[in-house]
Structure 1
Amino acid sequence: MFEVRRFPELSWSLSRHKTMLTCLRKYAYDYYVSHNGWLTDGDSLARQAYRLKKITNLEMHFGSVVHDLIYQIIQHVLSGKEIPSEEAVVDEIRHHLNRGFVESTRKEHLWYNRPKHYTMLHEVYYSQTNTLPPSKITKITDRLHSTVKNFYASQSFADVLNKQNMRFIESEKFRFMKVDGTKIFVVMDLVYKDLRQGKWVIVDWKTGKSSDEDRNQLALYALYLQQKHDIESLDDIIIRNEYLLESTNIEHKLNEHDLVNVQRLYHISIEQMKEHLLDSEQNQPLPIEQYPMQEDPRICARCNYQELCFPASK
């Protein structure tokens, strides 16, 4: 049964860790101030912060739409349904992008009351215009066809099509493991066991460029999978990044040192998070004023919470 809690549960994820390091004020808005902001009778500041938290940008929206459609295509394959053509998928992505633009420019009142169910683009909300930067439109348009084409040509999709030799487990779920009572969230795009090789395969679809953070993310996935399925050797786990923009895939060979590093990372990070609490048992945060604001204007320019930090910005 759903329970309204005064304070949220303390949990950890790589994205939460990154937010804490980037800007503590944004961290507070994301994980504390916005808590219960979805309730119709909730605190006005919580509701405002929750709305702003749900703002996305064009690149993120594109990535989210692509991930959702990839998941649907894979489910079609596994259930024996007809696989949509590349052209149909391109049209579907374009439809979702156009709908997001329409919702941002003409249906702000719907997003205002139900921000989880409607799209608001950062580029529209803070520009106070009903247009998108031409350079961003060109960039996404260029990515659209190549991303879909590269997905259909990817090694991982070939494995999906060869489903009789693979055993798939549910992915795209909000999975977690517990460490000292704290949930460590792990969201994997695709997980299966190659029955011919006797290897587990974890796939992460990327619609952007590679990042230095990818290895820690993959190590966290491997740690979760190893514990969940009692896998004795890391040699039995293949970690694969599919970079759809660049039409490349990289398979990583992780070792115990990688797992130790990621475990050290989340242990230290959780302790740092607790330093910003008034009451660690309840996960009650310090007053918002004790979460310093970011001083780099370039980071602030991309932030969802300009309206709260700089009221004149909206």
Structure 2
Amino acid sequence: MFEIRKYPELSWSLSRHKTMLTCSRKYAYDYYLSHNGWLSNADSLARQTYRLKKITNLEMHFGSVVHDLIYQIIQRVLSNKEIPGEEAVVDEIRHHLNRSFIESTKKEHLWQHRPKHYTMLHEIYYSQTNTLPEGKIKKINDRLSTTVKNFFASQSFADVLNKQDMRFMESEKFRYMMVDGVKIFVVMDLLYRDLQNDKWVIVDWKTGKSSDEDRNQLALYALYLQQKHHIESLEDIVIRNEYLLDGTHVDHQLTEHDLVNVQRLYGISMEQMKTFLSDPQHNAPLPLDHFPMQDDPRVCARCNYQELCFPSTP
């Protein structure tokens, strides 16, 4: 049952950790000031912050649309329903992207009132124009057909089609594990048992390039799987990155050292997060001026909260 709380629940994720390191003022907006901003009786700052939090950019929106459609296709396979062809999927992605452009340029008034249900693109909101950068449009168009083609040709989709030898786990919207009374959120795209090889397989679809942070993300997946399904040996867990831009995949075999590293990262990160609290028991934050602003204009240029930090912007 949903409960309205004055302060949000303290939780941890790699994305939250990254936000704190990138800009503590953005961290305050994302995880504290936007809290309850969706309520009709919320104060104006909470509503404004929550609305700005929901802004996305073209690359992020493209990745989100692709992930959603992949999920839908896999569910159709598992339900023995007809699946769309590559061309139909490409058209569907284009439809979603076009709709996001229309919502950003012609339906801002609807987004202002219901930001969770309408899309606002950062490139439109902060340029105050009704056009997207040509370079970004070309970038997404170049990725579109390639990404879809590589999904259908991927090892993981072949496993899905070979479903008689796999056992797929029920999809969960919010996966988390408890560590020292704190929820650690883990976002997994696909989880199944390979019955022939007696392995657990976690799949992460990547619509962008690999990063140095991938390994910590993978280690969190393994920790979650060990806790949730009581798996003793890491050798029983395969974590696969499917890189849809270049059509390759990488299977990772983690070690205990990887798990120790991510647990250490969590411990250090949590201690730092608690320094921003006036009341740790209730997760009540310190006043906003205790969250320093980022001083790199390149980071600020990509941020959703420009109009709060620099009020001369829209």
Secondary structure of the residue that 1:311 maps to in structure 2? coil
Give distance in 2, aligned partners of 1:204 and 1:222.
Answer: 13
Q: Which residue of 2 aligns with 1:240?
A: 240
String of CA shifts for 1:86-139, please: whole Å, max 9, x gaps: 000000000000000000000000000000000000000000000000000000
Identity of aligned residues (%): 80
Secondary structure of the residue that 1:313 maps to in structure 2? coil
Q: What is the Cα deviation at residue 271 of structure 1?
A: 1.1
With structure 1 as the length reference, what TM-score do the two structures score? 0.99
Q: Which residue of 2 aligns with 1:29?
A: 29
Matches within 5 A, 1:299-314: 299-314=299-314
Q: Which residue of 1 aligns with 2:204?
A: 204
Q: Which residue of 1 aligns with 2:219?
A: 219
| Structure 2 gap ranges (5+) | none
| Structure 1 gap ranges (5+) | none
Q: Which residue of 2 aligns with 1:46?
A: 46
Instruction: Confirm or deny that 1:79 pairs with 2:76.
Output: no
Secondary structure of the residue that 1:210 maps to in structure 2? coil
Matches within 5 A, 1:53-202: 53-171=53-171, 173-202=173-202
Q: What is the Cα deviation at residue 40 of structure 1?
A: 1.0
Q: What is the Cα deviation at residue 173 of structure 1?
A: 2.1
Question: What is the identity, as a one-letter code, of the residue corresponding to 2:27?
Answer: Y
Secondary structure of the residue that 2:204 maps to in structure 1? strand
Secondary structure of the residue that 2:47 maps to in structure 1? helix
String of CA shifts for 1:163-207, please: whole Å, max 9, x gaps: 000000023521111111100001100000000000000000000
Secondary structure of the residue that 2:184 maps to in structure 1? strand
String of CA shifts for 1:45-95, please: whole Å, max 9, x gaps: 000000000000000000000000000000000000001100000000000
With structure 2 as the length reference, what TM-score do the two structures score? 0.99
Secondary structure of the residue that 1:251 maps to in structure 2? strand
Give distance in 2, aligned partners of 1:226 and 1:171.
Answer: 17
Compute the RMSD of aligned alpha carbons.
0.6
String of CA shifts for 1:210-238, please: whole Å, max 9, x gaps: 00000000000011001111111000000
Q: What is the Cα deviation at residue 278 of structure 1?
A: 0.5
Relative distance call for 1:150 and 1:239 in structure 2 (3 A) is same
Q: What is the Cα deviation at residue 2 of structure 1?
A: 1.4
Secondary structure of the residue that 1:293 maps to in structure 2? coil
Secondary structure of the residue that 2:312 maps to in structure 1? helix
Q: Which residue of 2 aligns with 1:19?
A: 19
Question: What is the identity, as a one-letter code, of the residue corresponding to 2:116?
Answer: K
Give distance in 1, aligned partners of 2:105 and 2:174.
Answer: 31
Instruction: Confirm or deny that 1:258 pairs with 2:253.
Output: no
Give the aligned length.
314
Contact 1:240 1:249 in 2 (8 A): yes
String of CA shifts for 1:268-302, please: whole Å, max 9, x gaps: 11111001100000100000011000000000000
Question: What is the identity, as a one-letter code, of the residue corresponding to 1:240?
Answer: R
